[in-house]
């Protein structure tokens, strides 16, 4: 049975909780659920999807083993190189962001307005094709202005990018085999404000 996206999205949170409980040999689904405000049944079901060994009645799951299992499932060890396209403030902040997991490595940026970003080089967009091909890149972080978002996206698709983390406010039109993950900061904050107002009604 394929894992659901909902389950997949909870795995990183489980991993964090497990890692934070340094002194425990066993961790129960009840404890994890409590810390994340989820139901223990849900946690158990999720873990059943990725765990290679069974939990122990009365004790819970072996913490180290479970961490290994989740990391193996998420393929944390296998590093993928990604690029940032658009070296504005957000793009630069992401290029310098230190907390990405080990499975991801931002190797360079692209922008027609050349800048240097710590130890990461920024190349002009006309170098995109050759560098993406040579370095075998399939994922791009898109942080260009809204006006050029679709145009640059089309370019990314043309050079063979298959996954786009989209920080622009534009809904990108892409072929079926390309995955876009939208990270519309403007919409996110607007919705948080709205939700909070609703709470207070």
Residues making contact with its own copies (CB under 8 A): 8-9, 12-13, 16-17, 35-36, 74-76, 78, 80, 82, 89-90, 92-94, 96-97, 99-101, 103-104, 138-139, 141, 146, 162-163, 165, 169-171, 173, 177, 179, 181, 183-197, 199
Q: Is residue 45 a contact point for DNA (CB under 7 A)?
A: yes
Helix (H/G/I), strand (E/B), else coil: 142: strand
Q: Is residue 39 a contact point for DNA (CB under 7 A)?
A: yes
Number of H helices, E strands in the chain: 8, 8
Name 80's bridge partners: 104
Helix (H/G/I), strand (E/B), else coil: 49: helix
Residue with tokens 């107002």: 197
Check if the beta carbon of residue 43 is closer than 8 Å to that of residue 70.
Answer: no
**Out of DNA, its own copies, none, which partner does residue 60 contact, by CB within 5 to 8 A per kind?**
DNA
Judged by CB under 7 A, which of 57, 175, 197, 200 binds DNA? 57
* Closer residue to DNA, CB minimum distance, 58 or 134: 58
The Cα–Cα gap between 8 and 106 comes to: 23
- Region binding DNA by CB under 7 A among candidate stretches 2-10, 70-78, 79-87, 145-153: 2-10
Q: Give the nearest distance from C-beta 111 to its own copies in angstroms.
A: 15
- Region binding DNA by CB under 7 A among candidate stretches 53-61, 85-93, 99-107, 156-164: 53-61
Q: How far is CA 113 from CA 87, 106, 144, in A?
A: 8, 19, 11
Residue with tokens 């499975």: 103
Contacts of 17 (CB under 8 A, 6+ apart): 27, 32, 35, 36
Binding site for DNA (CB under 7 A): 4-7, 28-31, 38-42, 44-45, 47-48, 51, 54-61
């Amino acid at each position: 049975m394929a894992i659901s996206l909902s389950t997949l999205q909870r795995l990183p949170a489980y991993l964090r909780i497990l890692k934070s409980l340094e002194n425990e040999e066993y961790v129960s689904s009840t404890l994890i659920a409590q810390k994340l405000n989820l139901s223990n049944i849900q946690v158990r079901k999720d873990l059943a999807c990725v765990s290679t060994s069974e939990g122990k009645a009365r004790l819970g799951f072996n913490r180290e083993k479970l961490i290994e299992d989740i990391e193996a499932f998420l393929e944390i060890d296998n590093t993928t190189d990604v690029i940032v396209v658009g070296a504005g403030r957000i793009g630069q902040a992401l290029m310098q962001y230190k907390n990405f997991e080990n499975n991801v490595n931002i190797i360079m940026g692209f922008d027609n307005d050349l800048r240097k970003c710590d130890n990461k080089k920024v190349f002009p967009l006309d170098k995109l094709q050759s560098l993406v091909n040579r370095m075998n890149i399939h994922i791009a972080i898109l942080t260009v202005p809204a006006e050029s978002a679709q145009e640059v996206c089309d370019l990314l698709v043309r050079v063979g990018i298959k996954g786009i983390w989209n920080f622009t406010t534009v809904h990108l039109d892409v072929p079926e085999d390309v995955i876009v993950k939208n990270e519309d900061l403007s919409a996110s904050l607007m919705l948080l404000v709205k939700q909070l107002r609703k709470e207070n009604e």
